[in-house]
Every structure is written in C-alpha cells, then in structure tokens.
Amino acid sequence: MAPRILITTDYLHPGDAVDQLLREHGLEPVYSPSRGPRTPEERRSLFGGISGAILASEPVTADMLTGAAALQVIARSGVGYDSIDVRAAAAQGIRVCNAPGTNHHSVAELTIGLIIMAARRLLEVTSAVRQGRWPREAGHELHGSTLGIIGFGPSGRATASLGVALGMTVLVSTAYPDGDNQAVRFTDLDTVIRDADYLSLHTRGGQRAGTLIDASRLQAMKPSAVLINTARGSLVDEGALANALNDGIIAGAALDVLESEPLPGDSPLRGLDNVLITSHLAGQTAEARARAGLAAAHAVIDVIENREPAHPVDR
C-alpha cells in the first residue's frame, strides 16, 4: 500500500504539479483542505494512517500527534511554522520542514503596495469615489521618506531593495547585519522604531519571541508613522495598536497577519478608518504558491525516502 500524504493547503489540487510529483514517487495524496477551524473529532483523526503531510497554517498540537503512529514528516507550504508544536513532533520522531525563500518577492511587493495605499490614502479615496464624492486631499511621496525594517531575512531584504529603488532611506534592525550591503543602514531596534515613517515587520514570531510591538514601542514611533505587518500576527499587541490608532499616537497601520484569523467580529481593529487589513495574502501569488507547494512536496519525499530535507526547522 502506498504511503498516504495528507494535503491541507487549499490551493493544491488533484492533478496539479505537486500531486503528480508525489505520485511519481509512489505516494498517495489525500486531500483535506483547511478552510477554517476543524471540529475536535476532525483534529484528532486528521493524521490517522498518514505518512507525511503538506499543511496550510492551521494549528498542529501535541494532542493531534498522539494518534499519528505512521507520520514521518510535516511540511509547511510556506515559511511560518509557529502553528506547529515542533517540540511535540520531534519527541515522536516526526520531521518538520518549511519552504523559505519561496514567497519573499510576493511578500515584499505587497508590503510596498500597502505602504503606497497608506501614503496616498487609496482605501479612503476609492471608497469615497464609489459613494459619489471626489476627494482631493494630499497624500505623501515615498521618495525621501524613511522605511524601517525589523528582520532581514529574504522578505526583509526584498522589501529593502524595493524601498531603495523608490528613493527611501532604509534603516534595518537585525541580529545578522550584512556588512556588504551599502544601500541600507543597519542600526539598533529603538532607532529604527523612532525614525521610521513606515515601520515594516519581517521577523519571526512565536511564543518564545513574544510581542514585539507593544504600547511602549508604539508610543516611541512618530505620530505620522505607519506600521506594516506582513510577518506574524503575534508580533503586534492588537489592543495597544487599536488604542494608538484611536488616540493619534501613530497615523495608521496596514496588517496582512493577525493574532486570530479571520478577523474576529469583536476585534478592536474592526471599523477603524486608519487601518488597512488584508486576509493573509502576502505570500499568495500564483508564482509563490507553485514554488512553496513543490518545496513542501520535495521535503516530504526526501524524508519518506530517507534523505535529509532541505529546510528542517526541528534541528
């Protein structure tokens, strides 16, 4: 009997390149698309009889892995793996992999797109035009402004390059500065937060990292600044951000990731005019999806065939 490979990523389908690749290696894809929270019973039985899994960003807890006797590998069809209990998986000998470097151009392009939308107030303007008005308030040029970037992995680097191309001064806070990169200025976290006109997050989240942007750091930003988060929802204290937006502590925010997704009905961010919220779309281009799906499939194949995967996160 062929090893069964669970696929929950909702844009992967029977007959596509990932499906064909798995079948070429003697594996049987099994589809259970992630389209919202599963029932407790669905969660308990998700990995039953499964040898490998290509997953969306849904949670994988220690309890879910208890009955996963055949499971050898979990591969995320994306970069983030905060939703997976990596320690519990490792304790059971289950490899955990991700797909870095597959969506950084997509993330960077959306980041700059959100910055442009905020700078030129495009959401407000297009909404007003649809309602029959014709607003002519001035926006702001990006040329000559300061882009602050926290984290300098692939998406941070790609965003920095686009910022430089637009004539922005780019300040970067990272534990791993690139001394050969003369186009940006590496400095400390407090300076980036204080001096940025647009502060963009590109660092890892997770419980161990804790909240990066809290009330005190929002207070340290310019009143005219805009916060952009295309990285992890856990990086931002959303209650503190809502207060800062309501009180004029910062001018605006653009968020592609949230603490809880979809945005809860009672979120303090809901209905605010100075926040743009998109539905976790930064890495969701056709090109990035194709790269990420194949990278995850190759990780599954490598582990099943007793090879070291390219991008393990469990070691």
Active-site positions?
232, 261, 280
Measured distance CA(61)–CA(28) in Å, rounded: 24
Alpha helices in the chain (DSSP H): 17-24, 40-45, 62-65, 86-91, 104-120, 122-130, 154-165, 189-195, 215-220, 238-247, 286-304
Measured distance CA(12)–CA(302) in Å, rounded: 19
The answer to whether 223 and 196 are in contact (CB under 8 A) is no
Measured distance CA(92)–CA(65) in Å, rounded: 8
Measured distance CA(232)–CA(261) in Å, rounded: 11
Enumerate the β-bridge partners of residue 53.
6, 74
Residue 113's Cα: distance from chain center in Å? 15
The closest alpha carbon to 315, from 91, 90, 99, 127, belongs to 90
Angle ∠(96,229,99) on CA atoms, nearest 5: 25
Amino acid letter for position 97? C
Amino acid letter for position 93? G
Measured distance CA(227)–CA(239) in Å, rounded: 14
The answer to whether 234 and 205 are in contact (CB under 8 A) is yes
